[in-house]
């Protein structure tokens, strides 16, 4: 007797080769029936003996195709049918069309790579080879449903051979929307920086030769252009830096394969898996001292951002040039990534020597994602290509569609509809006008693809944020301003499916507090509706406001004057040797009088202050530079810590780091190495955090603890707090949602939804 079962699978299951895979699995298992795409995902109706169906079901969930992400599976028994075969049925039209069926872009799969290298294959060395398991998706989609007509591949008409593959259910290119070959698909083209065509029989080899000669080549990728140069050549990298007007931020390096990545960095299994994952992020890894990479790539950093090729074009280029390449987003300093050909010729002319482009348009710009292994697991630091627009499943549906506008420095918006949240690509600092425009376009695109008109718009509490102004200008029925760290905590809760309350540790540089001060060293008792500020750090004076974020010596001075009551001599401190006495006097006056010196509670500011003081670095060339250097300086072996005080008598409780500052100055004057002082600083923060969390747990119960905010991109801090809290607490760190401000929109969306419900 045939049993019947309907299996409904939700998530990213379209455009990733899911149905052909189900077909093969069913045929191998001896299951008859059908599979089809529907607006919400994939539906399978399977018929076989009950035991066979069970085995088939288990295999379904065991190892789905690499690009798939299953959010939810529902099964129920249906009447048996005497079906003889298993077939792929035509799709049910996306009537409601609510859910976003477009998958993220997928790195070239092993099967396609084999064909790419096979001289007998008709796609030998074809730079646009792809299949149902790999290739461009989100970045070529103009509309939903995800169908060739609605992508930038609509301009290319499939030849007979490609069409046959596309229409054969058993073919691995069945309904591969970007399917193409040299006869019918996109073509490479080489051009001068000004856009004039360069005749070449083999554009890839020509570009490789230019790179080997030290030139800068703009390469069209999935979500935009990269600027590439030889990463082993100091002069080439220096030239790129100068032309791009980027004087300090590290560049990412693309290498041909994992074996070559191992030559540059010491990798563990988790890092190898992350590098080779279908998302292919830039992975921050510990660089080998003897790595063959020019010093100019990541000046002074023990880390290197490494990634592997993710398009056939990258594979061919890396094979031809056979050396690590700097591959950095094509733009000028803080501008958005260049993704249109006309724009490339105009904006990249002063930077690139050559443009390796092609005629497949990019519909949606998307930067490379950045990730790092922390506490043994991948943590996404910048969420863009490879992850966007994957949905995050939520335990309950949004009451009304929500748009959350995020924060300014690392902007990313989030749309919440039904029981899913969609975090858009991280764009950049909205202080740049072109970036602001790119952000607005990306929001409109996401709303369009989801067919959502937001009824609730969420934003940061900061009145000066451009994202806040953008939210208000939308004139939605309901606007909800969410406190920055509450949003951070809610974003971590949402990622882990926690309903709250939780103890949320939110450490970052700056976020606008309900009292108007700059928060950022917060312990919150929170659920989605409200929060209580249980603890914070004793603040530092931000002399000159934002000026202190770049001129970090001002923060060091504020920390010293607070710790020593203004009585400390700066004479022995190398940091102050190069700062004019008059500047010091002016800043001291501002601090003492509290004039134009707002209070800052951010843990990130403490990293700036101590980094400036101990490393002798007066200024950061970009936000967080000195803080990052201070983190990276820490000696992994040093386990000692400095004294600190926790004042549990006030509201909120206060962590007082003045004893730490006094001890660190003594160490500095005593000649202790910076690495040891940095390690002790970290260990002290860990101990102080554990102490306030334990005190909070004693009062409010052993609630789940979430770690969030930009400071938890720092493994020493994150791993230290997790270890210090031990088995007594369940501690959650971010994974697929960035701990920094790029992840904040998700939390805003959930808080706004919860507030709307609470008021209803
Ligand atoms: Zn493939
Ligand atoms: Zn073709
Ligand atoms: Fe933040």
Residue closest to 173 by CA, chosen among 163, 183, 184, 182: 163
Most confident of 174-183, 324-333, 342-351: 174-183
Do β-strands 705-708 and 252-254 pair in parallel, antiparallel, or remain unpaired?
A: unpaired
CA of 408 to the centre of ligand 3 (A): 10
CA of 16 to the centre of ligand 1 (A): 10
Q: Are 227 and 351 in contact (CB under 8 A)?
A: yes
Residue 622 binned pLDDT confidence (cut-offs 50, 70, 90)? confident
Q: What is the reported pLDDT for 141? A: 94
Residue 97 binned pLDDT confidence (cut-offs 50, 70, 90)? very low
C-alpha span between 252 and 325 (Å, rounded): 8
CA of 176 to the centre of ligand 2 (A): 12
pLDDT tens figures, 124-141: 999 999 999 999 999 999
Q: What is the reported pLDDT for 92? A: 65
pLDDT tens figures, 242-261: 999 887 899 999 999 999 99
CA of 744 to the centre of ligand 3 (A): 7
Query: Who surrounds ion ligand 1 at CB < 5 A?
Result: 109, 112, 131, 133-134
Q: Which backbone phi and psi does 289 adopt, to 5 degrees?
A: -60, -30
| Per-residue pLDDT at 567 exceeds 90 | no
Q: Residue 167 CB: number of other CB atoms within 10 A?
A: 12
CA of 210 to the centre of ligand 1 (A): 29
Q: Are 551 and 605 in contact (CB under 8 A)?
A: no
CA of 124 to the centre of ligand 2 (A): 13
Task: Give the DSSP H or E segment for 754.
Answer: helix 744-759
Q: Are 668 and 613 in contact (CB under 8 A)?
A: yes
For residue 310, the ligand closest to its alpha carbon is 1
Q: What is the reported pLDDT for 722? A: 98
C-alpha span between 749 and 412 (Å, rounded): 12
C-alpha span between 615 and 621 (Å, rounded): 15
CA of 20 to the centre of ligand 2 (A): 20
CA of 163 to the centre of ligand 2 (A): 7
CA of 622 to the centre of ligand 3 (A): 16
Give percent of the chain above pLDDT 70. 99
C-alpha span between 661 and 468 (Å, rounded): 36
CA of 439 to the centre of ligand 1 (A): 31
For residue 741, the ligand closest to its alpha carbon is 3
CA of 145 to the centre of ligand 2 (A): 23
CA of 158 to the centre of ligand 2 (A): 5
List domains and CATH numbers for the chain: 3-88 (3.30.70.100), 188-370 (3.90.870.10), 373-499+739-759 (3.30.420.360)
pLDDT tens figures, 455-489: 999 999 999 999 999 999 998 889 999 999 999 99
CA of 183 to the centre of ligand 3 (A): 50
For residue 134, the ligand closest to its alpha carbon is 1
Average pLDDT, the chain: 94
| Per-residue pLDDT at 654 exceeds 50 | yes
Q: How far apart are the first and last CA of the chain?
A: 52
């Amino acid at each position: 007797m045939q049993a019947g079962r309907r299996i409904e699978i939700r998530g990213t299951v379209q455009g990733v080769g899911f149905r052909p895979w189900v077909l093969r699995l069913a045929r191998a298992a001896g299951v008859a029936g059908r599979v089809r795409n529907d607006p919400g995902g994939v539906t399978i109706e399977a018929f076989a003996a009950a035991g066979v169906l069970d085995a088939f079901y288990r295999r379904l969930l065991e190892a789905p195709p690499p690009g798939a992400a299953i959010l939810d599976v529902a099964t129920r028994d249906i009447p048996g049918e005497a079906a003889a075969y298993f077939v792929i049925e035509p799709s049910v039209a996306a009537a409601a069309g609510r859910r976003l069926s477009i998958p993220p872009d997928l790195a070239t799969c092993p099967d396609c790579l084999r064909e790419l290298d096979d001289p007998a294959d008709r796609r030998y060395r074809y730079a646009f080879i792809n299949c149902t398991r790999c290739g461009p998706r989100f970045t070529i989609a103009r509309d939903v449903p995800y169908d060739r007509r609605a992508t930038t591949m609509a301009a290319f008409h499939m030849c007979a051979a490609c069409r046959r593959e596309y229409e054969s259910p058993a073919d691995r290119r069945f309904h591969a929307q970007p399917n193409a070959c040299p006869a019918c698909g996109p073509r490479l083209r080489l051009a001068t920086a000004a856009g004039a065509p360069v005749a070449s029989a083999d554009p890839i080899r020509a570009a490789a030769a230019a790179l080997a000669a030290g030139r800068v080549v703009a390469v069209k990728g999935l979500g935009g252009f990269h600027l590439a140069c030889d990463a082993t050549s100091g002069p080439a990298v220096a030239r790129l830096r100068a032309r791009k007007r980027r004087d300090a931020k590290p560049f990412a390096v693309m290498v041909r394969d994992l074996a070559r990545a191992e030559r540059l960095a010491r990798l563990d299994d988790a890092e190898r898996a992350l590098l080779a994952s279908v998302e292919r992020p830039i992975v921050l890894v510990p660089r080998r001292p003897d790595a063959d990479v020019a010093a100019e790539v990541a000046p002074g950093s023990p880390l290197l951002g490494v990634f592997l090729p993710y398009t056939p074009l990258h594979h061919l280029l890396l094979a031809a040039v056979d050396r690590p390449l700097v591959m950095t987003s094509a733009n000028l300093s803080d501008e958005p990534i260049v993704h249109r050909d006309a724009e490339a010729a105009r904006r990249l002319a002063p930077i690139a020597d050559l443009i390796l482009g092609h005629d497949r348009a990019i519909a949606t710009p998307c930067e490379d994602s950045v990730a790092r292994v922390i506490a043994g697991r991948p943590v996404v630091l910048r969420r863009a290509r490879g992850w966007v627009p994957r949905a995050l499943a939520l335990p309950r549906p949004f009451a009304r569609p929500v748009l959350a506008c995020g924060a300014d420095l690392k902007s990313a918006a989030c749309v919440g509809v039904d029981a899913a949240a969609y975090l858009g690509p991280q764009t950049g600092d909205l202080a740049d006008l072109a970036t602001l425009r790119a952000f607005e376009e990306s929001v409109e695109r996401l709303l369009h693809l989801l067919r959502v008109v937001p009824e609730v718009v969420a934003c940061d509490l900061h009145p000066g944020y451009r994202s806040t102004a953008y939210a208000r200008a939308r004139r939605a029925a309901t606007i909800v301003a969410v406190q920055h760290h509450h949003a951070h905590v809610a974003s971590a809760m949402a990622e882990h499916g926690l309903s709250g309350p939780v103890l949320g540790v939110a450490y970052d540089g700056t976020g606008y507090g309900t009292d108007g001060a700059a928060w950022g060293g917060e312990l919150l008792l929170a659920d989605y509706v409200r929060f209580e500020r249980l603890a914070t750090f004793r603040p530092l004076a931000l002399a000159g406001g934002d000026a202190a974020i770049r001129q970090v010596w001002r923060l060091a001075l504020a920390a010293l004057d607070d710790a020593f009551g203004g009585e400390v001599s700066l004479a022995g401190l190398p940091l102050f040797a190069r700062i004019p006495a008059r500047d010091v006097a002016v800043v001291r006056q501002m601090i003492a009088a509290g004039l134009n010196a707002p209070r800052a509670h951010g843990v990130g500011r403490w990293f700036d202050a101590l980094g400036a003081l101990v490393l002798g670095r007066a200024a950061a060339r970009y936000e967080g530079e000195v803080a990052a250097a201070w983190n990276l300086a820490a000696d992994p072996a040093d386990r000692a810590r400095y004294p600190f005080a926790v004042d549990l008598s006030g509201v909120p409780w206060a962590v007082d780091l003045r004893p730490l500052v006094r001890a660190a100055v003594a160490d500095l004057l005593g000649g202790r190495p910076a690495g040891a002082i940095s390690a002790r600083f970290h260990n002290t923060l860990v101990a102080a955090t554990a102490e306030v969390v334990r005190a909070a747990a004693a009062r409010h119960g052993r609630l789940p603890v979430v770690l969030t905010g930009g400071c938890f991109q720092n493994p020493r801090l994150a791993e230290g707090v997790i270890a210090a809290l031990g088995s007594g607490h369940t501690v959650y760190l971010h994974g697929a949602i960035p701990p920094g401000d790029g992840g904040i929109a998700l939390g805003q969306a959930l808080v706004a939804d919860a507030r709307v419900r609470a008021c209803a």
